[in-house]
């Protein structure tokens, strides 16, 4: 039966096949056509898919190209500053200045390719052949240097204490003409009482054209450079005159030896090396009394032999470089005079007694303004304390720099870094020796002090920073503009990445400006603030929105810093440089699930200030107010960040405390020499798997709801914070609040074998300022902890002032941070960035 059925099937199939001489039936023709149609459909679909894929491919390429350009495309709204806002015609009183914070003494204009002037020096007949001083270097081991008085505009007095002698550098400006007026320098050299013999010193005054303008040397008496004349577009014609050294203002000329160098340079960062490679010992110093001795002086520039062999040719445009060297025995005084060719009604030269009179007048004005602004004398501070406070303010003003150039930036859409558009930056710097450039989160703190002294400086500095914003609303957090600035930065820190933020501290300075305006709307210094804010606002909105979209956290109204170190193998706790608190302990294993309490509080503060500014300008402010109210909701803050285990505010993330640094094992086969194998590194050992939890590190980050006034004055959490702050086993020291509790497992622990603890114990003045400010706020606000806050305010304020002052007197410097065990200054110095906020604590101005 089965066989037949199979046969019948086969026969049936055979019967269905048409013979050659038969015409296909209608049914078969339709079947064939259907197959052909299906084939065409399939081919058409395939072609369509190919075309779609190509379209998507080219669209993706196009979008990647578009997205890759966004990082280096400036914001489209009109700049806050007009193109010529820093020019001699618009702002003549600020055109020339000590805007070269990276050198011990020098001046330039606020223009992209300024003629720069400066001074180098070296001691002759010393134990060290090469002790040339020029750029501020901690390795020079000076006993101290810094501005004692500087008004940020018209004059400055600086003291530089080298070994066995002190140089006092003074300058005074005089307005007139169309190119920023005249100025005079006076350098006074005195030996220390401990010096066995009066030192012989060579001062080297120079002028350099940064690719623009020309300089001509005018030589008298064989080797003495009497003057330099020059021309540039910004300055017109000008003359720099080098007066002969005298023993004092009214004294006769002293014996001196003279030398000069006239050459070219392809970059300002090369000036020191050019001078070093032009020095020669063939010259003879022969005073009327005393022995003749060979001394070192500039001669002819000879590039080092290895340089031309190994390095590619420098293709940058050359600029004139002229050096005047005068070698003279202490004590002496020398004046250098700059005269603008457009200054037609000059009554007398700004030298000698005329300069002294002008200088004394400016000093008296400075003293009067300082007392009017800060009132330290009326608060009972000693003259020594007031002198220190004047120096701290003056160093910040004297550390203002004007930079011009291009940042190197990168986004996830760029395979290689791009050059950012050229831009200018007028900014204070944290440290003239170690950080002589702009840092975004530092600048907000800087301007808290400077806005009290001169609100116009603050408006201009903020405007420069905001004008560097790209179309996304991102501002590169570290500004390394120009070859001179770049020469001081390690390569790994040069490229700025557009997902990385920095605390938006400029809002603190904007808050100060708006409060000044509200309190004194008729005061002349405050009146430009309203039009300034109006021009600023479109960019400010984008900046705020950038934080709100790029730094959001995993839960609604939570935030997370991007840019944490990704190599978890090498770091005990991967750094969060973007937060400003570098190695402060965060979640041990970086992830997208982190919540950062400090960033949340910065956003609460910023949204409130945005609401105030918008309302002041008559702009829609309701959304900012809603955002501020939501982020400041203490129930939300407690829910997201309060750790019951720690009884404190804390970050949340993928975390374990069971980590340590251990020396890795390197296998060396028997009989093989050990030096042929890699050096054993310190690497991280994780002894217990991480899990989502609170980080439970008590320190500065735990204080942020208090520091930025997010906590309500009746919050029970405030009581915990005040109690823990005052605990000497946690944050309290006789010198200020330490950055991390002594009880924390990472307290004073290295992060790698090369990274010493940075924010893991030492005392930082910016956060201590915020703490003193917050204590003052809660002491003036009704609540159950008002009296406790008042007592802590007085105690903490006194401790910080006393320690920073004591260290300044003992060491000659204000420091980057202070040791939490001894109070000793440590880190970069001088650090008259945010450490100068000590002045505001003295004045009790918050």
Lowest mean pLDDT segment, chosen from 74-78, 241-245, 300-304:
300-304
Residue 667 has pLDDT above 90, yes or no: no
Cα angle vertex 731, ends 730, 733, to 5°?
110
Which residues have C-beta within 8 Å of that of residue 416, sequence separation ≥ 6? 410
Q: What is the pLDDT of residue 25?
A: 61
- Mean pLDDT for the stretch of residues 507-514: 98
By the 8 A CB rule, do 498 and 410 touch? yes
By the 8 A CB rule, do 617 and 533 touch? yes
By the 8 A CB rule, do 78 and 72 touch? no
Residue 285 has pLDDT above 70, yes or no: yes
- DSSP reduced 3-state for 642: strand
Rg (CA), the chain: 34
pTM of the model: 0.91
Helices (H), 504-564: 506-519, 529-550
Q: What is the pLDDT of residue 589?
A: 96
Positions of CATH 1.50.10.10 in the chain? 389-843
Note if 522 is an active site residue.
no
Distance of CA 833 to the CA centre of its chain: 10
Residue 814 has pLDDT above 50, yes or no: yes
Which residues have C-beta within 8 Å of that of residue 197, sequence separation ≥ 6? none
Other C-beta atoms within 10 Å of 460: how many? 22
- DSSP reduced 3-state for 123: strand
With cut-offs at 50, 70 and 90, classify the pLDDT of residue 142.
very high
Q: Which residue is listed with tokens 């735990």? A: 702
By the 8 A CB rule, do 495 and 417 touch? yes
Q: Tokens representing 118?
A: 């400066």
Q: What is the pLDDT of residue 484?
A: 86
Q: What is the pLDDT of residue 253?
A: 76
Residue 308 has pLDDT above 80, yes or no: no
Q: What is the pLDDT of residue 63?
A: 63
Tell which wins on pLDDT, 46 or 228. Answer: 228
What is the distance between the alpha carbons of residues 156 and 97, in angstroms, rounded to a whole number?
10
Between the two ends of the chain, the Cα-to-Cα distance in Å is: 106
Q: Tokens representing 533?
A: 């804010």
State in words which class domain 92-304+316-374 has: mainly beta
By the 8 A CB rule, do 258 and 227 touch? no
- DSSP reduced 3-state for 443: helix
Which CATH topology does 389-843 take?
Glycosyltransferase (1.50.10)
Buried b (16+ CB within 10 A) or exposed e, 427-439: bbbbbbbbbbbbb
- Mean pLDDT for the stretch of residues 773-794: 97
Lowest mean pLDDT segment, chosen from 147-161, 220-234, 632-646, 782-796:
220-234
Note if 582 is an active site residue.
yes
Q: What is the pLDDT of residue 4?
A: 41
Q: Which residue is listed with tokens 């991007």? A: 562
Q: How many residues does the chain have?
A: 846
Cis status of the peptide bond prior to 249, with omega within 30 of 0:
no
What is the distance between the alpha carbons of residues 373 and 365, in angstroms, rounded to a whole number?
12
Q: What is the DSSP letter of 824?
A: -
**H-helix or E-strand spanning residue 305:** helix 305-310
Query: For the sheet containing 200-209, what is the strand order?
Result: 96-97, 106-109, 115-123, 200-209, 319-329, 257-265
Residue 412 has pLDDT above 80, yes or no: yes
Q: What is the pLDDT of residue 97?
A: 97
Residue 456 has pLDDT above 50, yes or no: yes
Q: Which of 442, 807, 816, 820 is catalytic?
A: 816
Positions of CATH 2.70.98.110 in the chain? 92-304+316-374
With cut-offs at 50, 70 and 90, classify the pLDDT of residue 10.
very low
β-strand pairing of 182-191 with 332-340: antiparallel
pLDDT in tens, 599-636: 999 999 999 999 999 999 999 999 999 999 999 999 99
What is the distance between the alpha carbons of residues 738 and 698, in angstroms, rounded to a whole number?
11
Q: Which of 159, 582, 619, 794 is catalytic?
A: 582
- DSSP reduced 3-state for 383: helix
What is the distance between the alpha carbons of residues 765 and 823, in angstroms, rounded to a whole number?
12
β-strand pairing of 115-123 with 691-694: unpaired
Instruction: Give one DSSP letter per residue of 682-713, joined into a string.
Output: EEEEESS--EEEE----BGGGGHHHHTT-S-T
β-strand pairing of 401-405 with 423-427: antiparallel
């Amino acid at each position: 039966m089965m066989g037949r059925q199979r046969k019948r099937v086969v026969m049936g199939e055979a019967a269905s096949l048409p013979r050659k001489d038969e015409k296909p039936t209608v049914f078969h023709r339709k079947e064939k056509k259907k197959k052909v149609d299906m084939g065409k459909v399939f081919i058409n679909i395939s072609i369509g898919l190919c075309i779609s894929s190509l379209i998507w491919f080219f669209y993706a390429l196009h979008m990647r190209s578009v997205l890759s350009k966004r990082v280096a495309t400036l914001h489209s709204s009109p700049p806050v500053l007009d193109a010529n806002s820093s020019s001699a015609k618009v702002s003549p009183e600020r055109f020339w200045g000590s805007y070269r914070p990276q050198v011990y003494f020098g001046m330039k204009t606020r223009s992209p390719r300024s003629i720069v002037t400066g001074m180098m020096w070296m001691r002759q007949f010393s134990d060290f052949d090469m002790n040339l001083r020029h750029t501020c270097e901690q390795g020079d081991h000076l006993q101290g240097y810094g501005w004692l008085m500087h008004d940020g505009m018209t004059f400055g007095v600086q003291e530089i204490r080298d070994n066995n002698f002190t140089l006092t550098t003074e300058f005074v400006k005089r307005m007139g003409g169309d190119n920023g007026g005249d100025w005079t320098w006076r350098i006074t050299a005195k030996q220390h009482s401990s010096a066995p013999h009066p030192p012989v010193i060579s001062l080297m005054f120079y002028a350099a054209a940064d690719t623009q303008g020309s300089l001509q040397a005018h030589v008298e008496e064989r080797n003495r450079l009497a003057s330099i004349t020059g021309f540039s577009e910004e300055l017109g014609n000008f003359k720099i005159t080098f007066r002969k050294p005298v023993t004092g203002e009214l004294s006769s000329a002293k014996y001196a030896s003279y030398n000069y160098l006239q050459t070219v340079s392809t970059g300002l960062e090369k000036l020191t090396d050019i001078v070093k490679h032009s020095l020669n010992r063939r010259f003879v110093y022969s005073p009327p009394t005393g022995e003749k001795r060979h001394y070192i002086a500039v001669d002819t520039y000879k590039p080092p032999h290895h340089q031309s062999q190994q390095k590619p040719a420098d293709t940058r445009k050359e600029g004139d470089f002229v050096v005047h060297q005068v070698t003279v025995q202490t004590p002496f005084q020398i004046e250098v005079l700059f005269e603008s060719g457009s200054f037609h009604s000059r009554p007398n030269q700004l030298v000698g007694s005329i300069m002294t009179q002008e200088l004394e007048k400016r000093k008296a004005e400075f003293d009067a303004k300082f007392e009017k602004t800060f009132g330290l004398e009326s608060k009972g501070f000693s003259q020594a304390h007031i002198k220190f406070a004047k120096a701290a303010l003056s160093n910040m003003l004297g550390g203002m720099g004007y930079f011009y150039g291009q940042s190197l930036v990168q986004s996830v859409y760029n395979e290689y870094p791009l050059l950012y558009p050229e831009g200018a930056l007028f900014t204070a710097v944290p440290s003239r020796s170690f950080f002589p450039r702009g840092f975004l989160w530092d600048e907000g703190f800087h301007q808290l002090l400077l806005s009290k002294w001169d609100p116009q400086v603050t408006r201009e500095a903020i405007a420069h920073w905001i004008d560097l914003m790209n179309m996304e609303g991102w501002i590169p957090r570290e500004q390394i503009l120009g070859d001179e600035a770049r020469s001081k930065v390690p390569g790994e820190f040069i490229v700025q990445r557009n997902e990385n933020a920095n605390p938006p501290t400029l809002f603190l300075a904007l808050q100060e400006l708006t409060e000044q305006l509200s309190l004194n709307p008729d005061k002349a210094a405050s009146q430009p603030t309203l039009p300034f804010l109006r021009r600023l606002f479109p960019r400010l909105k984008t900046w705020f929105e950038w934080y709100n979209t790029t730094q959001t956290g995993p839960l609604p109204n939570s935030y997370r810093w991007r840019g944490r170190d990704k190599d978890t193998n090498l770091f005990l706790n991967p750094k969060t440089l973007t937060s400003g608190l570098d190695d402060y302990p965060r979640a041990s294993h970086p992830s997208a699930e982190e919540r950062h309490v400090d960033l949340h509080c910065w956003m609460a503060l910023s949204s409130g200030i945005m609401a105030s500014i918008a309302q002041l300008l008559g702009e829609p402010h309701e959304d900012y107010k809603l955002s501020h109210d939501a982020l400041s909701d203490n129930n939300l803050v407690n829910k997201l960040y309060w750790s019951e285990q720690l009884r404190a505010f804390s970050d949340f993330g993928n975390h374990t405390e069971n980590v340590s640094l251990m020396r890795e094992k390197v296998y060396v086969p028997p009989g093989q020499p050990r030096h042929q194998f890699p050096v054993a590194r310190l690497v991280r050992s994780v002894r217990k798997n991480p899990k989502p939890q609170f980080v439970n590190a008590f320190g500065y980050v735990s204080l942020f709801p208090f520091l930025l006034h997010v906590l309500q004055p009746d919050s029970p959490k405030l009581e915990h914070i005040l109690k823990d702050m005052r605990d000497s086993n946690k944050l309290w020291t006789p010198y200020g609040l330490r950055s991390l509790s002594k009880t924390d497992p990472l307290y004073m622990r290295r992060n790698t074998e090369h990274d010493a603890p940075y924010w893991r114990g030492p005392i930082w003045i910016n956060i201590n300022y915020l703490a003193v400010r917050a204590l003052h706020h809660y002491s003036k606000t009704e609540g159950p902890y008002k009296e406790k806050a008042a007592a802590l305010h007085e105690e903490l304020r006194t401790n910080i002032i006393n320690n920073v002052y004591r260290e300044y007197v003992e060491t000659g410097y204000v420091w980057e941070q202070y040791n939490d065990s001894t109070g000793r200054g440590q880190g970069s110095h001088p650090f008259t960035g945010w450490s100068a906020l000590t002045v505001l604590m003295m004045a009790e101005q918050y």
